[in-house]
């Protein structure tokens, strides 16, 4: 699980699911989350080597899973989610069909209205 993008290898940069979301959100309010694999360094996108899926969690609470196919889809997803209690971070996992699971995270604060 990588939460800091400094001092990463090229392999890590290609596979890291980068999460873009607000730092603070209101409890129960929907907000946009974007997850991109290959944002820091392009990941191959062909049938023999691609990102198969991306999963999103709020700490350990499962939120979503999106599947991709090589060449015809780009491993980027935008989701609208809401959090009903305080979570420490959003966690994303990307599965590369050749190199396995890779994780990234982003700290997030949930505030009362």
Torsion of CA 65, 56, 54, 21, to 10 degrees: 130
Domain containing 76 equals: 1-23+47-100+108-113
> Would residue 11 count as lying in a domain?
yes
29 located within any domain: no
- Residue 2: band (very low, low, confident or very high) from pLDDT cuts 50, 70, 90: low
pTM (two decimals) = 0.91
Rounded mean pLDDT, 85-96: 91
22-44 average pLDDT score = 96
Q: Which residue has the higher pLDDT, 24 or 4?
A: 24
> What is the Cα gyration radius of the chain?
14
Residue 47 has pLDDT above 70, yes or no: yes
Rounded to an integer, the average pLDDT of 5-26 is: 93
Q: What is the model's pLDDT at position 85?
A: 80
The reply to whether 3 falls in a domain is yes
Please check whether residue 33 lies inside any domain of the structure: no
Is 113 inside a domain boundary? yes
Query: Any idea what the CATH number is for the domain that residue 17 is in?
Result: 2.60.40.730
Return all residues near 2 (Cβ < 8 A) that are at least 6 apart.
8, 12, 16, 102, 103, 104, 105
The number of domains in the chain is 1
Q: What is the pLDDT of residue 112?
A: 87
pLDDT exceeds cutoff 90 at 86: no
The predicted structure's pLDDT at residue 24: 95
Main-chain dihedrals φ then ψ at residue 62, nearest 5 degrees: -70, 130
State the residue for tokens 């969690």: 57
């Amino acid at each position: 699980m990588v939460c800091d993008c400094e001092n990463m290898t090229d392999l890590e940069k290609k596979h890291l699911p980068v999460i873009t979301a607000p730092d603070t959100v209101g409890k129960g309010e929907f907000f946009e989350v974007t997850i991109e694999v290959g944002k820091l360094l392009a990941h191959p996108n062909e049938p023999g080597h691609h990102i198969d899926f991306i999963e999103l969690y709020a700490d350990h609470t499962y939120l979503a899973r999106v599947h991709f196919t090589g060449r015809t889809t780009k491993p980027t997803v935008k989701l609208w989610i809401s959090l009903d209690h305080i979570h420490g971070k959003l966690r994303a996992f990307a599965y590369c069909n050749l190199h396995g699971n890779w994780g990234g995270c982003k700290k997030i604060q949930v505030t009362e209205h």
